[in-house]
């Protein structure tokens, strides 16, 4: 286990180092003098000089990078130019909202995608298989911001069942929190359900052709036991790992979903930062999401290692 | 013509055309391409001409898809919007292939430290969620359709690097590559003349599916205000304005969204069909 962890960490660290170079390099794309952008309306040469000195813009690029990385390693992602709050603090204050939305979306995606994939594989080439495939194509082809707008029209405007926008913390009022997040979570989970359905279908088709399934059937077990206890348990192993890869899609989707439903999370933070030209916040969000993605994938690999006896024995 | 004289391309095309879903996808894509090309000839109105007497008119005989908050004809805007979406899809994927294919080929064929560097860069880029990286790039480059295409193209590049690298590694151990090496072909010639044609099928499949993703990404960036700028029509920016009038003018959201859905569905069906027709593992 330790050797496995060490091997994976040895791959993760260089990746994170390159991520930091990419995120830092973003500011090099800014056209013109970054000090002018940071100064906003204020073009006073004194202010500009102060900004250059404060952010190290008068130093060579590699020195700027080293200073920035040093700060990041000490938890300092800089300060938001608009609200004057440390970027790390800002990101951490929005993260729980997106985590709530993301985890609800993931549960919804699993609740739709996995049963649909199982049904599709068990009833291969039947009407259920075609329906499940159509569902997955729908999920993959529907832009989630459009689905969000159309659901607001139907569920909130026409039927008046759920609020069209806003967010309430579950610690304040869990019912209202559920009411404000269930529709965005469904929207966000929709495309991930489609991907999970495809992975589950492929894994189940493979599992159903294995010898142990044939043996289970030969023993006279009911089809439900064969499918649920034997095939599905084994098929879920790759689905869990492949599902972890969808966490990136979850972060990306959250940007648009939070925008449509006016949810004050991580995604809304990055969009607002883009329009306020609050570039340090944009950099901070990219760095935090990429690091979170790498670490969650590492966790998924560890989980895969723990639940797969063949890997453990190697 | 006897089957033995068929080229692999023709055989793949025949397999593709035997799949109703793929043919439907191809027809949808072809229809949208045709609409985009001949939009100036068939659009009933100027897509950016405002008409203050026809603000937010519901669909009817004159304006089939209704009008928007500035009285502009929605049908004309959806037709012209196809230009922005399809060109963004194709150009950004062309950027990804132009950068990703040579890098993947280099990494897979040369190996060693070149492979290590290219693979680490690809891994790091893949770690940044696609749309968040595209948003950040578009934000730093400045909002415009061409910058959105560059941002999407760069963000989608690592997928092509990985795919090409993997396909090259698989193909490099084949007998025909050994044979090409044995007769003294230089390395660049082996890569370009022998490896490249054999790794193209999975790249074509990925390209078709990537166009679908790029169209959604362009619509997303335009929806956020980082792509096509008003008053030029784009399906994403049309949905952005539609959101403000969802109660009074739902058609403003219905048609551009349906257009994105249809064209993306078309590319997804075509991509799935191509994969079945070209990739022996999925047959």
Q: What is the pLDDT of residue A309?
A: 67
Interval B9-43: pLDDT, tens: 788 888 889 899 999 999 999 999 999 999 999 99
The whole-angstrom separation of Cα B253 and Cα A143 is 12
A25-39, A98-112, A212-226, A275-289: least confident range: A25-39
Q: What is the pLDDT of residue B281?
A: 56
The values of phi and psi at residue A79, to 5°, are -125, 135
Over residues A19-43, the mean pLDDT reads: 80
Tell if the CB–CB gap between A19 and B128 is shorter than 8 Å: yes
Adjacent-strand bridge partners of B73: B67
Closest CA to B282 of B19, B30, B105, B102: B19
Chain A CA closest to residue B266: A141
Task: Say whether residue B245 is in contact with chain A using an 8 A CB cutoff.
Answer: no
Q: What is the pLDDT of residue A314?
A: 56
Pick B127's closest partner by Cβ from A30, A142, A294: A294
Over residues B199-225, the mean pLDDT reads: 93
Say what the pTM is. Answer: 0.90
Count H helices and E strands in chain B, helices first.
11, 0
Task: Say whether residue B137 is in contact with chain A using an 8 A CB cutoff.
Answer: yes
Interval A229-281: pLDDT, tens: 888 888 887 787 777 778 778 888 999 999 999 999 988 899 888 888 788 89
Give CA torsion, residues A138, A143, A148, A150, to 10 deg. Answer: -70
Over residues A69-75, the mean pLDDT reads: 91
- For B81-278, CATH gives 1.10.3720.10
Residue B231, preceding bond cis, omega within 30 degrees?
A: yes
Residues of A whose CB is below 8 A from B224: 255-256, 259, 271, 274
Q: Between residues A256 and A223, which one has the greater pLDDT?
A: A256
Q: Is the pLDDT of residue B170 over 60?
A: yes
Q: What is the mean pLDDT of chain B?
A: 91
Pick B124's closest partner by Cβ from A15, A255, A289: A15
Over residues A272-291, the mean pLDDT reads: 87
The whole-angstrom separation of Cα A100 and Cα A168 is 11
Interface with chain B: mutation pick from A29, A38, A91, A275, highest number of B CBs within 10 Å: A29
The band of B1, judged by pLDDT with boundaries at 50, 70 and 90, is very low
Angstroms from A218 CA to nearest CA on chain B: 29
Q: What is the pLDDT of residue B54?
A: 86
The band of B227, judged by pLDDT with boundaries at 50, 70 and 90, is very high
Tell if the CB–CB gap between B225 and A286 is shorter than 8 Å: no
Pick A293's closest partner by Cβ from B129, B225, B264: B129
Residues, chain A: 314
Asked whether B104 and B252 are in contact (CB, 8 A), the reply is no
The band of B283, judged by pLDDT with boundaries at 50, 70 and 90, is very low
Q: What is the mean pLDDT of chain A?
A: 88
Q: Which residues contact B97 (CB under 8 A, 6 or more apart)?
A: B160, B203, B207
Tell if the CB–CB gap between B124 and A18 is shorter than 8 Å: yes
Tell if the CB–CB gap between B120 and A14 is shorter than 8 Å: yes
Interval A82-111: pLDDT, tens: 788 999 999 999 989 999 999 999 999 999
Tell if the CB–CB gap between A153 and B133 is shorter than 8 Å: no
Domain ranges of chain A: 2-73, 94-313
Q: Which CATH architecture has domain A94-313?
A: Orthogonal Bundle (1.10)
Over residues A139-160, the mean pLDDT reads: 95
Q: Considering only residues 176 to 195 of chain B, which have any Cβ-Cβ distance to chain A shorter than 8 Å? A: none
Tell if the CB–CB gap between A289 and B136 is shorter than 8 Å: no
Pick B216's closest partner by Cβ from A143, A150, A255: A143
Chain A CA closest to residue B215: A143
Q: What is the pLDDT of residue A232?
A: 87
Give CA torsion, residues A137, A142, A143, A144, to 10 deg. Answer: -100
Over residues B231-251, the mean pLDDT reads: 93
The whole-angstrom separation of Cα A160 and Cα B62 is 32
């Amino acid at each position: 286990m330790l050797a496995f962890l060490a091997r994976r960490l040895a791959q993760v660290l260089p990746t994170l180092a390159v991520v930091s170079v990419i995120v830092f390099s973003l500011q090099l794309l800014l056209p013109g003098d970054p000090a002018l952008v940071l100064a906003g309306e204020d073009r006073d040469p004194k202010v500009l000089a102060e900004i250059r000195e404060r952010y190290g813009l008068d130093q060579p690029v590699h020195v700027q990078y080293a200073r920035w990385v040093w700060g990041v390693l000490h938890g300092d992602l800089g300060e938001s130019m608009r609200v004057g709050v440390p970027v790390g603090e800002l990101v951490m204050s929005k993260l729980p909202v997106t985590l709530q939305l993301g985890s609800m979306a993931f549960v919804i995606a699993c609740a739709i995608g996995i049963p649909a994939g199982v049904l599709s594989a068990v009833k291969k080439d039947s009407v259920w298989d075609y329906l499940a495939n159509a569902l997955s194509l729908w999920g993959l082809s529907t832009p989630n911001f459009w689905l969000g707008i159309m659901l607001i029209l139907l569920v909130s405007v026409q039927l008046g069942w759920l609020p069209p926008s806003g967010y309430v913390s579950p610690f304040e009022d869990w019912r209202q929190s559920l009411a404000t997040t269930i529709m965005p979570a469904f929207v966000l989970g929709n495309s991930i359900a489609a991907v999970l359905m495809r992975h589950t279908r492929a894994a189940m088709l493979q599992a159903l052709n294995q010898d142990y399934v044939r043996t289970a059937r030969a023993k006279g077990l009911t089809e439900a036991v064969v499918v649920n206890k034997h095939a599905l348990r084994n098929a879920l192993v790759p689905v869990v790992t492949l599902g972890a890869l969808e966490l990136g899609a979850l972060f990306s989707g959250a940007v648009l979903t939070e925008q449509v439903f006016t949810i004050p999370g991580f995604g809304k933070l990055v969009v607002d930062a883009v329009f306020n030209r609050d570039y340090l916040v944009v950099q901070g969000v990219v760095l935090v999401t990429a690091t979170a993605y790498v670490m969650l994938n590492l966790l998924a690999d560890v989980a895969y290692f723990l639940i797969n006896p063949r890997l453990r024995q190697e | 013509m006897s089957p033995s004289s068929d080229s692999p391309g023709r055989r793949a095309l025949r397999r593709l055309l035997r799949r109703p879903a793929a043919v439907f996808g191809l027809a949808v894509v072809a229809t949208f391409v045709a609409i985009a090309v001949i939009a100036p000839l068939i659009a009933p109105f100027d897509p950016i001409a405002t008409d203050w007497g026809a603000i937010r008119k519901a669909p009817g005989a004159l304006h089939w898809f209704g009008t928007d908050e500035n009285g502009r004809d929605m049908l004309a805007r959806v037709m012209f919007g196809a230009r922005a979406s399809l060109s963004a899809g194709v150009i950004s994927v062309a950027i990804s292939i132009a950068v990703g294919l040579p890098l993947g080929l280099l990494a897979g064929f040369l190996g060693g430290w070149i492979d290590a560097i290219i693979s680490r860069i690809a891994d790091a880029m893949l770690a940044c969620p696609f749309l968040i990286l595209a948003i950040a790039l578009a934000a730093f480059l400045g909002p415009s359709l061409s910058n959105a295409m560059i941002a999407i193209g760069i963000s989608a590049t690592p997928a092509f690097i990985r795919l090409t690298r993997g396909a090259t590694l698989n193909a490099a151990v084949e007998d025909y590559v050994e044979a090409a090496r044995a007769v003294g072909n230089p390395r660049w010639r082996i890569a370009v003349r022998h490896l490249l044609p054999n790794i193209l099928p999975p790249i074509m499949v990925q390209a078709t599916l990537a166009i679908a993703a790029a169209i959604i990404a362009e619509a997303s960036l335009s929806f956020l205000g980082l792509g096509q700028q008003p008053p030029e029509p784009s399906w994403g920016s049309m949905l952005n304005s539609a959101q403000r009038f969802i109660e009074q003018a739902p058609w403003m959201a219905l048609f551009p969204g349906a257009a994105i859905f249809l064209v993306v569905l078309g590319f997804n069906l075509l991509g799935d069909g191509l994969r079945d027709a070209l990739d022996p593992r999925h047959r």
